[in-house]
Homo-oligomer: A and B are copies of this chain.
Amino acid sequence: MEQTTMPYSVDLLLRIRERKPLIHHITNAVVMNDTANITLAIGALPVMAHALEEVEEMVSLASALVLNIGTLTPAQVEAMLRAGKRANARGIPIVLDPVGAGATRLRTEAAHRLLAELRIAVVRGNAAEIGALIGVSGETRGVESISVAEKHEAIARRAATELRCVVAITGVQDIVTDGIRQALIDNGHPWLASITGSGCMATSLVGAFLAVEPDAFTAATAALVAMGLAGELAAPRAGGPGTFRSHLLDAVANLDTSKLIQGQKVSIA
């Protein structure tokens, strides 16, 4: 496991801002506004559309598709499948955020169905959600024999292998793996957990990076570095979660080459 400077993440940010890719979201009602705003902040263009009648047309205009199953309904699952199949046919990358997988059967089954019927480039969730996708508990209670970090790494690797896609688990330390390569990202700030939708926002950033970088492992890693570093830069300016959320968007918009080079804390193995 060696420390790298990963200069490519810098190039990706510039590429997003130059190309301004359209990122089609079919996402939950809680975070629609925040995910649209963070997509704009990184330099891409968000569009939210979930009607069965328009998702295929809309995704055809997009450079990446973000599927997020928070506040899910069965009709929305159909819309996600339609949009996803069109995206697959066109080579448009898909990132899936399995919000609440494991909490209810609707969500767990929806995530499984999307993973079975679509070719997903990246799944991003917390350890419990990713664990639920492969039938293991992401909870760490009662597991004293191995460290939390090692447990999360094991879940991520197994999920990547079983689901045949890049898996990103976010938490105190973020893990990205395609089953072979693995990135550990120590960027971040505890206040990211104090606002709703920070995970969903990270997923939107993965969508933006996927739109300009065909290697999903690289795209997901770069996105999580950007998100975590923005959290670090925002926190000192904030007095709590309300102002933190505003400064987080500022920080994403104000990311640049030198901040990324100096600030990234990523090790790739």
Contact = CB atoms under 8 A, between A and B. Distances in A.
A18 B216 CA distance: 39
A37 B239 CA distance: 15
Which of the four size classes fits the interface of chain A? Answer: 35 or more
Given A37-B245, A54-B72, A241-B250, 19 more contacts: A28-B48, A32-B71, A33-B34, A36-B196, A37-B195, A37-B241, A40-B194, A50-B71, A51-B72, A53-B106, A54-B105, A54-B106, A237-B239, A240-B247, A240-B251, A240-B252, A242-B248, A242-B249, A242-B250
Number of copies: 3
Contact of A33 (B31, B47, B239, B249): B31
Given A34-B33, A48-B70, A240 B245 contact: no
B71 A194 contact: no
Interface string A165-201: 0000000000000000000000000000011110000
A87 interface: no
A54 B104 contact: yes
A14 to B, nearest CB: 18
Contact of A196 (B46, B61, B103, B243): B46
Contact of A47 (B34, B41, B100, B194): B100
Contacts of A123: none
Contact of A73 (B51, B61, B103): B51
Nearest to A34: B33
A92 B245 CA distance: 31
Contacts of A10: none
A61 B103 CA distance: 8
B194 A41 contact: yes
Contact of A245 (B74, B246, B252): B246
A218 B219 CA distance: 49
B41 A30 contact: no
A231 B37 CA distance: 17
Interface string A75-108: 0000000000000000000000000100111110
